[in-house]
Amino acid sequence: QVQLVESGGGLVQAGGSLRLSCVTSGRTYTRNVVGWFRQAPGKERSFVAATRSDGGLYYADSVKGRFVLSRENAKSTVFLQMNNLKPEDTASYYCAAIAGYCSGTSCWDRRLYTYWGQGTQVTVSS
């Protein structure tokens, strides 16, 4: 059984920073790819960033240069460092994992992600 548990959300002013954590458990191959998605009220869930076990990193254009994804394999944890936050970053953030692999822009496709966490709320005030 694969479990993903997010933490680190909260309320921050525009320009501030937050670090989200995703602790993963389960068979290793089910966590080769770990991604972050976000969903604002009334909007579809959208890709934020993803990391592959071989070191591949992918970012949505809207967060490139502001968000940094890293993973600490010993603790099976993936971190999303979010800097220079903007009000439009306000959303519920979800950690997800692919039971397999992805390549290039396919890593952006939420339909490939089999396992999902419960989400953590990020609110950025102006």
| 106, two tokens | 């396919």
pLDDT digits (tens, 9 = 90+) for 86-98: 999 999 999 999 9
Question: Taken in order 92, 93, 95, 101, is the CA torsion positive or negative?
Answer: positive
pLDDT digits (tens, 9 = 90+) for 66-87: 999 998 877 689 999 999 999 9
CA atoms within 13 A on the CB side of 115: 23
Amino acid at 46: S
pLDDT digits (tens, 9 = 90+) for 8-46: 999 999 999 999 999 998 877 667 899 999 999 999 999
Taking alpha carbons only, the member of 123, 116, 122 closest to residue 5 is: 116
- Residue 60: phi, psi to the nearest 5? -70, 150
Taking alpha carbons only, the member of 100, 96, 101, 118 closest to residue 49 is: 96
